[in-house]
Structure 1
Amino acid sequence: MEARSSTEEALIKYKEGIGQFATKMPGFTRQFNALTEECFKEGALSQKQKQLIALGISIHAQDEYCIIYHTKGCLDQGCSEQEILEAVGVTVAFGGGASMSQGVTLVQECIHEMNQLKQ
């Protein structure tokens, strides 16, 4: 599968990495997947809200793969660009310049590229 964008390529690499890891650590991977599925299912907080929270944490942690993954998750859950950028703003209040740099580069790049893929 050939990627059409750098963010799509990162998502493919992540999925391939999880697949390879799962062959070596199947029990661990199953438990991790079960944990994340439980954490992100609809509850008192919507899946949309949970993706926005996860994006903010990813930005603060400077985790580029998670930033890409959760930006996509936000878009998949129907977040507008404005909602995502406001989540970036809240993250910047805690993470300062490092969070700002991820928000004004990688997050905006992801939004742009993923919206292009939908067309």
Structure 2
Amino acid sequence: MSSFDHPTLIQNISQSMGALRKAQPEAMQGFGQLAKAAMAGGAISEKHKELIALAIGITQHCSGCIGFHVKALRRLGCTRQELEEMLAVTVYMGGGPGLMYASEALTAWDAFAPAAEAQA
């Protein structure tokens, strides 16, 4: 079980990046533009791109990535079943370490549950 509080983790990361945005505005704007262009819907939907990004974040062992992409998937209407199927592929490709971070992604999924779902 993950010891991360993903909502707080991504809030802290966002706040910490403020100093970098001030120090390196062009680089940070460039990264933001790259992210926006890469994640825009096209032949592959935004939701599917977020699933891919989450799989990469898991295999790269990035807890912040897990938090940001799970939150985006919730916003995009991803179902738990879609998430779990993607996690199975991630574990297949990433082995034991992938399994540990897949578990973390499920914890993040629950942490970002809408209030009505969390009470059910």
| Displacement of 1:75 | 1.2
**Structure 1 consecutive aligned stretches of length 4 or more whose deviation exceeds 3 Å:** none
Counterparts of 1:25 and 1:8, CA distance in 2: 25
CA deviation digits over 1:17-36, x for unaligned, max 9? 22111001001000000000
Counterparts of 1:110 and 1:67, CA distance in 2: 7
Counterparts of 2:31 and 2:17, CA distance in 1: 11
CA deviation digits over 1:73-99, x for unaligned, max 9? 111111101111111111111110001
Match of 1:112 in 2: 110
Match of 1:83 in 2: 82
- Where does structure 1 lack aligned partners over 5 or more consecutive residues? none
* Aligned sequence identity (%): 27
TM-score normalised by length of structure 1: 0.89
Tell me: higher relative CO, structure 1 or 2? Use CA pairs within 8 A at least 6 residues apart.
2
Match of 2:16 in 1: 17
CA deviation digits over 1:10-67, x for unaligned, max 9? 1111111221110010010000000000000111100000000001011011111001
User: Which region of structure 1 is more displaced relative to structure 2, 9-18 or 48-57?
Assistant: 9-18
Counterparts of 2:115 and 2:86, CA distance in 1: 22
Match of 1:98 in 2: 97
| Displacement of 1:118 | 3.6
Counterparts of 1:75 and 1:118, CA distance in 2: 13
- Where does structure 2 lack aligned partners over 5 or more consecutive residues? none
Match of 1:39 in 2: 38
| Displacement of 1:108 | 1.3
For 2:83, the aligned partner's letter is I
Q: How many residues were matched structurally? A: 113
Q: Secondary structure at the match of 2:8?
A: helix
Match of 1:70 in 2: 69
| Displacement of 1:103 | 1.0
RMSD: 1.3
